[in-house]
Amino acid sequence: MPARLGRYAVRRRLGAGAFATVWLAYDEQLDSPVAVKVLADNWTEDQAVRQRFLEEGRFLRKVESPYVVTVYDAGEIDDGRPYLVMSYADQGTLADRLEIDGLTPGQALEVVRQVGAGLQTLHERGVLHRDLKPANVLFRAVDGEVRAMVADLGLGKSMEVSSRLTVIAGTPSFVSPEQAQGEPLDPRSDLYSLAALTYLLLAGRAAFSHATLSAAARPGSPPALSSPDRPYPDEVGAVVARGLAVERDERWPDVASYVAALTSALAPVTSGAASQLPLDPHLTQTGAPPSMLADDASLPPPRLPRRRRWLRRVVGGVVALAVIAGGAVLGYRIGHEEPTEATVTDTSGYLTVTVPSSWDHAVADDGWRPKGSDTDQPALSVGTSGDWSTDPDGQGVFVGILPGTELPDHVPGHPECATSQDPIEATDSLTVTFTGCGDTDAVVVERVVQLTENRLLWVQVRSASTAVANRVLDDVETHGFG
């Protein structure tokens, strides 16, 4: 992790994609957190990618809207890569929220209204977004409320250029048919994506599940919006269906018209209902546990490893060292070899796990508060970094106790993983292994164990190999539970 990017002090990594990495940093001069987006080093010499990166900053700088991410500054780091300094979305993304729970109709309408306002402003400034999807809708706390902002104009284009665009790009399940075919574009292409997003928020399922852009070029009609579980007036389905019309001339003329029609159609459902999303102060904090079984859990930020121990080499002798510090025990092999394993115990003494020594870089051991619990419970997180569960290169393990009288029907899913193996069900445990996770083809294992009549043990392991993950699972120990 870089210590600084320009004049900004780096705190931690927020995320990474194919073309850039985003860091949480601090503007010491203005006393404010910011997000700094840096071009990935493998694209440094690609002038087309570099130009697109800089264009994103220029597009965002053109717009003055509370519903579009603001660019405050730009520059270059020492190796020549450009960076953009932007608003910090301290409430995560729409994709985060949907992973945890769905939205009420009132909340969904408010998100669509705010995102629509951001898109409308972009269009008025002559810019198309071209990649609207849940991951590109960010949330930020403003005056005690959660505000939605349109972000990531990596595929953004001026309308002048888009009028003759032939390059095919976008996210298949949200892209308009004309964009998937490489046709010239106008604001109705973004309107289509907003309608696809609306469908997802209201129905709880995507209108389309296209795997490729060629499939998105011939989408057909989506299933009915209403369902027995989520009924809506016919007018709501008609408004969204018109926004998803294959022929752009059959859609609403602009985003503002679409949002106004949707608001009117949803009035019988949303009248008097709360529309604000709840603030989540833990959503993006360093060291938060994986957002799986514990939606509202709070795990203290991991400390830099005061537990890191280094093998002391003694000239003229062969020594075996055992170092005990802060409740964690680390065994060393005899001789001059580096330690191969680290054994760590939480501060309460209830949990112990043994991991590869290379994982012992960030430890949080002071417990957590699972969703539905009024008290803190023992927990332990050990990993290669504080955000190992979301870091594409991260490896680590989370072990936590939570209240529960029976095993869950299923474990959390991992959409970033290519496959999931059949669950391994036992009398007192449920285990699922996910493979092909992310760009590194990592392995993620979820295990829930009925520890006592009213306590569950939850373990999540992320590893580069199944063999290592299984060894770590086998080396999880509990103490004092009978």
Lowest model confidence (mean pLDDT) among 72-76, 256-260, 361-365, 448-452 = 361-365
Residue set of the binding site for ATP: 37
pLDDT over threshold 60, residue 454: yes
pLDDT, mean of residues 306-328:
26
Residue set of the binding site: 37
SS3 440: coil
Lowest model confidence (mean pLDDT) among 192-206, 270-284, 463-477 = 270-284
pLDDT at 465: 84
Q: Which amino acid is present at 310?
A: W
Burial 33-51 (b: 16+ CB within 10 A, else e): ebbbbbbbeebeeeeebbe
Would you tell me which CATH number, out of the four given (1.10.287.110, 2.30.29.30, 1.10.510.10, 3.40.50.720), belongs to the domain 94-270?
1.10.510.10
For the chain, the 3-state helix, strand and coil shares in percent, each to the nearest 5, are 25, 30, 50
pLDDT band per the 50, 70, 90 thresholds, residue 288: very low
Q: Are 185 and 165 in contact (CB under 8 A)?
A: yes
pLDDT over threshold 80, residue 334: no
Residue 471, Cβ density class (10 Å: 0-12 exposed, 13-18 middle, ≥19 buried): middle
pLDDT over threshold 50, residue 319: no
Q: Which two three-digit tokens encode residue 54?
A: 């800089």
Q: Are 65 and 111 in contact (CB under 8 A)?
A: no
Distance of CA 107 to the CA centre of its chain: 20
**For 347-405, how does the pLDDT look when each residue is reduced to its tens digit (9 = 90+)?**
777 888 889 978 866 788 767 767 555 567 888 888 887 667 766 678 989 898 988 87
End-to-end CA, the chain: 43
pLDDT band per the 50, 70, 90 thresholds, residue 189: very high
pLDDT at 155: 55
Closest CA to 477 of 465, 459, 454: 459
What CATH topology corresponds to 4-86? Phosphorylase Kinase; domain 1 (3.30.200)
User: What is the pTM for the complete model shown?
Assistant: 0.58
For 336, other C-beta atoms within 10 Å of its C-beta total 10
pLDDT at 162: 40
**For 78-126, how does the pLDDT look when each residue is reduced to its tens digit (9 = 90+)?**
888 989 998 898 898 898 888 877 899 999 999 999 999 999 998 998 8
SS3 447: strand
pLDDT, mean of residues 332-359:
68
pLDDT band per the 50, 70, 90 thresholds, residue 48: confident
The yes or no reply on domain 322-478 and CATH 3.40.1000 is yes
pLDDT at 294: 38
Element (H, E) at 402: strand 396-403
pLDDT over threshold 70, residue 292: no
Lowest model confidence (mean pLDDT) among 139-143, 217-221, 366-370, 445-449 = 366-370
CA torsion angle 236 239 241 244 (round to 10): -130
Looking at per-residue confidence, does 69 or 441 come out higher?
Answer: 69
Looking at per-residue confidence, does 297 or 368 come out higher?
Answer: 368
Closest CA to 308 of 378, 384, 368: 384
Q: Which two three-digit tokens encode residue 77?
A: 């780091």
Task: Give the catalytic positions in this structure.
Answer: 131
How many percent of the chain have pLDDT more than 70? Answer: 78
Q: Which two three-digit tokens encode residue 301?
A: 């930020």
**C-alpha–C-alpha distance, residues 304 and 188, integer Å:** 49
User: What are the extents of the domains in the chain?
Assistant: 4-86, 94-270, 322-478
